[in-house]
Amino acid sequence: MSVITAPEDFHVDDLFVDLGPTLGAPLFLKCEAFNFAGSIKLKAAAAMVADAEDRGALGPGSVLVESSSGNLGVALSLIAASKGYRFLCVTDTRCNLTTRRMMEAMGARVHTVTEPDPEGGFLGARLDYVRKLCAGDSRYLWLNQYLNEYNWIAHHRTTAPSIAKQFPDLDVLFVGAGTTGTLMGCARYFRESGRRVTVVAVDSVGSVIFGAPPGPRMIPGLGAGVRPPLLDESYVDDVVHVPEPDAIRMSHRLASRGLLLGGSTGTVLAGAVGWLAEHRGDEPTTAVAIAPDLGERYLDNVFRTDWVNEVYGEHVLDLDPIG
C-alpha cells in the first residue's frame, strides 16, 4: 500500500507491457502515464521545480511560466497547486481542450498562441512570448524545459535505471524526441553504464530536431520547430522519422486491442516496429520503447475519425501498419 501526502509523490515506474502478441515484434513498452499528471512529464517538472527551490529562485511573489504543448503544462499545474505557486502555461492551438481544462481546473492560467513564427513555428512563437513576458516582469520564473538540465537529469536518475533493472539484457531503446529530456537522460545513462544499448530517437516528419526540413505537424507532443539546446547527437545511435498518418494508424490499432495510448506513443511504436523489421529481422532482440502518456488527451484529434479524415484524408485509417 502506498500512502502519500502530495500528488507529485506518486508514480508507477515499473510497469511494462509485452507488445509481442499485439505487434508481432520483440518489443516491451514502458508505461509512464500512471501518476496524477498522467504523463512522463511529471518527472521533469518535479526535478526542475525542486532545483528552483534549492537555488532560492522561487519566492512568495513568483509566478512559474513555461511553454508547453500540453503534458508538461499539466504536470506543472499539479505541482504548482500542490505547493501553492502560481503558474502560467503558454501553449498553442494544437493543445487540446481537455488538456487546457485540466490545467485551469488546478488553478493555472493558460495563454494560447494562435500564430506560428515564420521560422520557428508555434514553438518559436511560444518561446518569444515567454521571453518578452519575463523581460517585462521580474515576478515570472521560466523553468525553460528546453534548456534546463534537470529535464534530462530526472530521467537519468529514474527512467533509465528502471529500464536497466528490468532488462539487464537490453539491446535497443526507442525514445521519442521533443525537448529531448527523456532521450538525453536515458542515452547518457546507458552510455555511462558501459552497456551496449542502441539508443534510437523517434521523431515526427516535419520536425527539425535532427536537421530534417520543417513541415506541418498536427499531433502535439513529439517533434519541434526549433532544435532543442539539450540535444547532444553523439549519444544517439540512430534516428527514425515517422509520418503522422503512420502514428495515427498505430494508435488506432493499439486502441482496437484495448491499449488506448497517446499519439506520441503511436509515433514511437510505429518507428520502433519499422526499425526492428529493417535492422534486426528475426534476430533475437530485447527492445524497449517509452510511452509518455495515455490516449484520453487525444480523443478530440487522433481518435476522432472526422478529424483524422479532414486532416490526413478519408482513407488514412484503411491501411494497417501491423497486419
Query: What digits encode the pLDDT tens for the residues 273-293?
Result: 999 999 998 899 999 999 999
C-alpha cell at 162: 528502471
65-88 b/e (C-beta count within 10 Å ≥ 16 → b): bbbbbbbbbbbbbbbbbbeebbbb
Position 120 scores a pLDDT of: 84
Q: What is the mean pLDDT of residues 107-127?
A: 91
- 41-142: CATH, from 3.90.190.20, 3.40.50.880, 3.40.50.1100, 2.60.40.420: 3.40.50.1100
Q: What would the pLDDT profile of 239-274 be if each residue is shown by its tens digit?
A: 999 999 999 999 999 999 999 999 999 999 999 999
Give the three-state DSSP class for 249: helix
Is the confidence at residue 323, as pLDDT, over 50?
A: no
Residue 321 burial class via C-beta count within 10 angstroms: exposed 0-12, middle 13-18, buried 19 and up: buried
Domains 7-31+156-306 and 41-142 belong to one CATH topology:
yes
If you average pLDDT over residues 219-231, what whole number do you get?
90
Name the pTM for this structure: 0.94
> pLDDT at residue 321 above 70?
no
Spans of all domains in the chain:
7-31+156-306, 41-142
Which residue is associated with the grid cell 515517422? 242
Does 322 have pLDDT greater than 70?
no
CA angle, corner 267, sides to 263 and 108, nearest 5?
A: 40
Q: Residue holding cell 511560444?
A: 126
- Indicate if the pLDDT at residue 121 is higher than 70: yes
pLDDT at 304 over 50: yes
Tell me which CATH code domain 7-31+156-306 carries: 3.40.50.1100
